[in-house]
Amino acid sequence: MGFFDRLSRLFRANANAVISNMEDPAKILDQSVEDMQRDLVKLRQAVATAIASQKRIQNQAEQAEAQSRTWYERAELALKKNEEDLAREALSRRKTYQDTATALNTQLQSQSAQVEGLKKSLVALEAKIAEAKTKKDMLKARAQAAKAQEQLQSAVNGLGTDNAMAAFERMEEKVQILEARSQAAAELAGADLESQFAALQGSDVDDELAALKNRLAGVPEEPIALPAEDAPVPRLEPAQVAEVDAELQELKRSIDQL
C-alpha cells in the first residue's frame, strides 16, 4: 500500500468522523424527508409527462387508423368509377397510414408499460414518505431522549460525587472522634467527683476507726458537760412557719443553680 493511498484513506476516515459528529439526527431526518418530497415531485412530473406522451401517441395512432380507413374508402370509390390507377394510389396511401398506426400502437404499448411502472414507483414512494414521516417524529423523540440522557449522565459524572462522599465520611469520622473525646472527658470528670466523695466518706470512717481504737485501749471518751442544778433551763421556742418556708425556698434555689 502506497503512502498516498494510506494518507488518502486517513483523510477520508477523519473527514467522515468529523461529519458524523456534526450530524444532528433531527436535522438529517427533516432533510431526508424534504429530499424524498422533492423526488416525489420529480416523479410526479415524470409520470405526468409519460401520460401526456402516451395520450399523444394514442391520438396519433387513432388518426393514422382513421386516415387508413379513409384512403381505403377512396380506393373503393375509385374502383367503382373504374379509376384503377387512382384506386392503387389510394391503397398506397392507406398502406402508409396502416404502417404508421402499427408503429404507433407498438410504441403506445411500450409507453403504457412505462407509465404503469412510473405509477407503481410513485405509489411506493408516497408510501415510503408517509412511513418516513411517521418514523421521523418517533426517531426525533428518541434522539432527543438519548441526548438528554447523555447530558444528564455527563452532568452526574461531573458532580464529583466520590469526592463529596469521601469528605462526608471524613467529617462523620471526625464527629465520632469528638463525641468519643467528650464522653471520655465526662467519664474522667465523673471519676474525679466520685473520688472526692469517697475521700469525704473516708474521713468519717477514719474518725470512727480512731474512736473505736481509743475505746478498746481504755481511753475515756470526753465527758459530756451537764448543766448546773441552778442553771435556768432554756425554753425552746417553736420555729415560725414563714421562716422555715423562706429557708426551704433558699435551699431549692441553691440546688437549682448547681
Number of domain units in the chain: 2
Which of 143, 159, 175 is the C-terminal boundary of a domain? 159
For residue 173, being part of any structural domain is answered with: yes
- What's residue 7's pLDDT? 57
- What's residue 14's pLDDT? 58
What's the rounded Cα separation, in Å, for the pair 104 and 98?
10
Is 120 found in the same domain as 25? yes
What's the rounded Cα separation, in Å, for the pair 17 and 5?
18
Is 150 found in the same domain as 25? yes
Is 106 found in the same domain as 76? yes
Q: Which domain holds residue 194?
A: 163-216
- What's residue 89's pLDDT? 93
What's the rounded Cα separation, in Å, for the pair 96 and 103?
11
**Which residues in the chain land under pLDDT 50?**
18, 224, 236
Contacts of 233 (CB under 8 A, 6+ apart): 227
- What's residue 29's pLDDT? 80
Q: Residue 140: is it exposed, middle or buried by C-beta count within 10 angstroms (0-12/13-18/19+)?
A: middle
Q: Specify the pTM.
A: 0.47
Residue 231 is classified by DSSP as S
